[in-house]
Every structure is written in structure tokens, then in C-alpha cells.
């Protein structure tokens, strides 16, 4: 390389003023933040151990190091950047990774294990690790996010959920893949107020008795694809809340837990319509519910429409097909009915075994009855000493397409 020209010298002075390192390449001068390393492909790498002093000893609180590494990677690079958490056990409290980022894409590569601090006072927000207001972000790496929830579950209740292990909040073009989630305090993963999100190849594990530990919960999100998950928790494997549009869930192996759920809907007054949801090619084993839609008995007026559960295998599931519009209605006045209008719902090619004699329950609102409910190719068999199957339907307009219907005992819905 020759002697730097005038423009190069100007760039070098600018780098030094900004406290950055100058790299002279064949064609130009580049400024790189101190503590960063560049790959040949042009990606700037930030290692939380080498560059920010994090300790993988399973004891040290690395919260400050992880937040500092994110701020450097996100906001001091123009072009692709990667935050690397190498192999080892990294303890941390509340982590908030906020954008917007100048780096695109911004990648977080979790190779090791993140361990949550088991102290409720540590978490001021609703998440342990929250990634917020970022476009074009990738979270991957093959590592483990361990919420160490066993010490916290005693504090769980319906009104005040414990922190989610990892959430996308107001994220666009986000990818979450190739990670293991273990024993979250609250939900394991959450996607909310986001768009164009892909989630795949996650393993999510917690005891069947753990409270409110949904595998993945989504709300107010458009264009979302979830695939290739193995989920066993104490709550819904997948739960799709209000405001979601154009969501596809596929190839999920679910159990133990509460099944594959739309809802709960209508709990809060500001909830918005949900539509175009497809849950397809999944296996549900040993859960309390299979394919479920649930709404609260007293709710704001809203729509839930264009929902398909298709090609679902049930293995000893207690409630294989259920719409429950009186969710958590104990103690409510008998006149209270859900104002969530459920329509254009398709249960197609649902087969397997059930532990309950009532294989289909469609318990809809008398104020806004369910309409356009299709049951097609339902072939469910009783497991063990279960009595002959039956169905219970109220306030539901149902059409039945023949194909294995006698085994499911659908006479009560026709």
C-alpha cells in the first residue's frame, strides 16, 4: 500500500478524534471502534469476554458488560456487526438491548449459557432480556438461555406475570433461531408490536407444573413465521394473542403443557382484532388441550377470524379441539358473555387419541355466536378406558365435512 492521500489523512484524523482505530486497506481507510475485530466479510465482532471483561464463571454479574457490548455493536458501526457471547456460564440480571442501530444487520451470537439472577427485585421491566426498537436483527448461536425460574415460580400469579426470558419488542426483520430455553421465570419467549419476524429451531423446556411459562407468546405482530420448535412447559406451547395478522406456526412438537392456543383474547380493553392465523403440521402429546381458542367472558368488541388448525396429531390429549369463550369465568355473572366474535375457523385433519370422552368442545358466546366453524377429517380415538367419544357445542354454527367423524363422536355439534 502507498502513502495515504489527502482524503485518507482527513479520515485518519477523524478516526482519532472519535477514539477509534484506523485500518488502512488497499482501497480506503476504515474507522473501527476500540475493542472490535473485523472479519474478512466486513463484519465487526464484539466479544463480551475479550473486549468487555465479562466472566464465564457462573457467579459474576455480567449485566453491565452485556449492555455495554450491545451499545458498542449497535451504535458505533456502520455495516454488519456481531455481539458474541462465547462458551461458558454468564450470569446476568436485567438486560435491555435498545435501538435503533447503525449496524445492519445486528447479530447476537449466544454460544454459551446465560443464567438469570434469581432475585425478583433485579427486574424492573417485564423481561429478563429485552431487544427493543431494532430493525434487521439476528439472534442465534446454539447456546442456552436459562431463566432459573424454579426459585421464582412461587411468586407467579395471573395478574402479575414474572419476567419473560427473551422478547422482541417493536422489532422489524427479526430472526430468532438455534437456541435452547430452559426454566423461564415467566414466558420463555415473546414477540410483540413487531413485523416480519422468523423464529425457528428452538428447544424450550420447563416442568409441566411450572406456572405461566408459555413457550412462545406473540401479540400485535404482523407477518410472523414460527417453525421447527420442540416445546414442553407448564403452559401453552404457543399462544397467539390479540392484534396478530398473517401468522404461520408449523412443525411444533408440543408437550407437556396446555397446547397450541389462540388467546387468551379480550382480557384488556385496548385489544385489537386478530386474523389469518395458520397452525399446521404439529404434534401435541400429553397436554391438557390440543387446538384451542380462548377468550374472556367479559371483553371488548373485537374479531378473531381466518384461523386454521390443520394436520395436527394428538397423542393422549385431554381436550383435542376446544373453543372456550368463558375462560376464567368463575364467579362471573351468568349474564356476562364474551364480545370476541369468532368466525371462519377450520379444524382440518385432526387425528390421534384423547384422554377425555368429550373430544370436541365449542363453547361460544351467546352475544356473539361463533360462525363458519368447519370440522373436516376429524379422526380421534379414545385412549385406554375412556368411554365412547362425544362432542359439546353451544352458540356455534358448525359445518362438518365427512371423514372419520364417527370416531370423534361429533353428533353433538351437527
Helix (H) or strand (E) holding 66: helix 63-75
Classify strands 370-382 and 127-140 as parallel, antiparallel or unpaired.
unpaired
Residue 330 pairs with which residues in a beta bridge?
none
Answer positive or negative: Cα dihedral of 168, 185, 82, 227: negative
6/12 Cα distance (integer angstroms): 10
Catalytic residue, chosen from 242, 258, 297, 326, is: 258
SS3 state of residue 114: strand
Cβ(392)–Cβ(360) under 8 Å? yes
Enter the DSSP assignment of 258: S
Does residue 258 carry a catalytic annotation? yes
Q: Which of 242, 237, 295 is nearest to 270 (CA)?
A: 242
106/70 Cα distance (integer angstroms): 9
Cell of 58: 457462573
Cβ(221)–Cβ(190) under 8 Å? no
* DSSP state letters, 137-198: EEEE-S-EEE--GGGTGGG--SSSPPPEEEEEEEEEEEEEEEEEEES-SS-SEEEEEEEEEE
| Nearby residues of 318 by Cβ (< 8 Å), 6 or more positions away | 287, 288, 289, 354, 355, 356
Cell of 46: 464484539
* DSSP state letters, 303-352: EEEEEEEEEEEEEEESEEEEEEEEET-TT--TT----EEEEEEEEEEEEE
Q: Which of 53, 33, 52 is nearest to 44 (CA)?
A: 33
- The residues that are catalytic are 258
Amino acid at each position: 500500500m502507498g502513502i495515504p492521500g489527502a482524503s485518507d489523512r482527513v479520515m485518519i484524523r477523524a478516526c482519532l478524534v472519535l477514539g477509534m482505530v484506523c485500518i488502512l486497506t488497499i482501497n480506503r481507510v476504515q474507522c473501527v471502534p476500540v475493542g472490535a475485530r473485523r472479519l474478512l466479510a466486513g463484519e465487526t465482532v464484539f466479544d463480551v469476554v475479550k473486549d468487555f471483561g465479562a466472566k464465564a464463571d457462573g457467579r459474576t454479574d455480567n449485566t453491565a458488560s452485556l449492555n455495554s457490548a450491545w451499545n458498542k455493536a449497535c451504535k458505533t458501526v456502520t455495516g454488519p456487526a456481531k455481539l458474541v457471547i462465547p462458551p461458558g456460564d454468564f450470569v446476568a440480571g436485567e438486560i435491555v438491548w435498545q435501538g435503533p442501530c447503525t449496524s445492519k444487520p445486528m447479530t447476537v451470537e449466544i454460544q454459551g449459557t446465560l443464567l438469570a439472577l434469581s432475585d425478583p427485585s433485579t427486574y424492573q421491566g417485564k423481561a429478563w432480556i429485552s431487544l427493543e426498537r431494532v430493525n434487521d436483527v439476528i439472534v442465534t448461536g446454539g447456546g442456552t438461555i436459562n431463566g432459573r425460574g424454579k426459585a421464582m415460580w412461587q411468586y407467579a400469579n395471573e395478574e402479575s406475570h414474572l419476567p419473560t426470558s427473551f422478547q422482541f419488542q417493536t422489532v422489524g426483520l427479526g430472526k430468532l433461531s438455534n437456541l435452547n430455553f430452559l426454566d423461564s421465570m415467566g414466558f420463555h419467549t415473546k414477540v410483540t408490536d413487531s413485523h416480519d419476524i422468523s423464529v425457528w429451531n428452538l428447544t424450550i423446556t420447563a416442568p409441566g407444573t411450572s406456572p405461566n411459562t408459555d413457550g412462545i407468546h406473540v401479540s400485535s405482530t404482523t407477518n410472523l413465521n414460527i417453525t421447527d420448535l420442540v416445546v414442553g412447559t407448564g403452559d401453552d406451547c404457543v399462544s397467539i394473542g390479540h392484534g396478530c395478522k398473517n401468522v404461520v406456526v408449523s412443525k411444533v412438537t408440543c408437550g407437556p403443557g396446555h397446547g397450541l392456543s389462540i388467546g387468551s383474547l379480550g382480557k384488556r380493553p385496548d385489544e385489537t382484532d386478530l386474523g389469518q392465523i395458520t397452525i399446521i403440521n404439529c404434534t401435541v402429546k400429553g397436554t391438557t388441550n390440543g387446538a384451542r381458542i380462548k377468550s374472556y367472558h367479559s371483553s371488548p368488541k373485537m374479531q378473531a377470524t381466518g384461523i386454521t388448525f390443520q394436520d395436527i396429531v394428538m397423542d393422549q390429549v385431554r381436550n383435542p379441539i376446544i373453543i372456550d369463550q368463558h375462560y376464567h369465568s368463575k364467579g362471573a355473572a351468568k349474564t356476562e358473555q364474551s364480545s370476541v366474535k369468532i368466525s371462519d375457523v377450520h379444524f382440518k385433519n385432526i387425528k390421534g387419541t384423547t384422554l377425555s370422552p368429550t373430544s370436541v368442545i365449542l363453547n361460544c358466546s351467546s352475544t356473539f355466536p361463533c360462525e363458519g366453524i368447519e370440522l373436516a377429517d376429524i379422526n380421534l380415538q379414545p385412549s385406554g378406558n375412556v368411554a365412547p367419544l362425544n362432542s359439546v357445542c353451544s352458540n356455534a354454527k358448525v359445518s362438518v365435512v365427512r371423514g372419520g367423524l364417527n370416531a370423534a363422536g361429533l353428533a353433538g355439534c351437527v
